[in-house]
Amino acid sequence: MSKKTAKAKPAKEKKEVLYARGKRKESIARVTAKPGNGLIWVNGTLLIGGDSRLKGIQEVFSLVPEEVKLNFFATISGGGVEGQAQALKTGVARILAKSLGGETRKTLMNFDRSLLVEDVRRVEPKKFKGPKARARFTKSYR
């Protein structure tokens, strides 16, 4: 009778997946990072050189001392073009701060606090008796 020897299977290396969220005005960016070669996908489209959203992210990457070996996948909804770009920038910066550690976090915070901390300002709602939030209708007689 022969006994079968049980071979220990090597443990699969767990790929680290990081999540972060960035907000600016009405825009919300949900960002996921997986090991890769530094590509950035937004709503299923690869960001390339002429995109305005890429300029803000390049600013974040210039502050990081190491080469980033992560692929970023972002889903952005709401707001306008500039608000979406700033929300994406905040999400990417938060992931870099998580993955690279404390010194990178300090560098990003010293450069611009809004990279890691959301801007809480929102548009003031319009009130009745006026055309805008604070302006009031005026009388044209007397």
- Tokens coding 49: 């050189």
- Look at residue 61 and tell me if it is in a domain: yes
On whether residue 3 sits in a domain, the answer given is no
Q: What is the pLDDT of residue 21?
A: 94
- The reported pLDDT for the residue numbered 77 is 95
In a domain, 130, yes or no: no
Query: Which CATH number characterizes residue 34's domain?
Result: 3.30.230.10
**How many structural domains are present in the chain?**
1
How much is the pLDDT for 6?
Answer: 57
Among 16-25, 32-41, 52-61, 120-129, where is mean pLDDT lowest? 52-61
State the pairing for strand pair 70-77/40-42.
parallel
User: What pTM does this model have?
Assistant: 0.78
Residue 11 lies in a domain: no
Q: pLDDT tens digits for 78-117? A: 999 889 999 999 999 999 999 887 788 899 888 988 889 8
Does residue 129 sit within a domain?
Answer: no
**Amino acid 91: pLDDT:** 93
pLDDT of 102 reads: 79
66: containing domain: 18-115
Report the mean per-residue pLDDT for the chain. Answer: 85
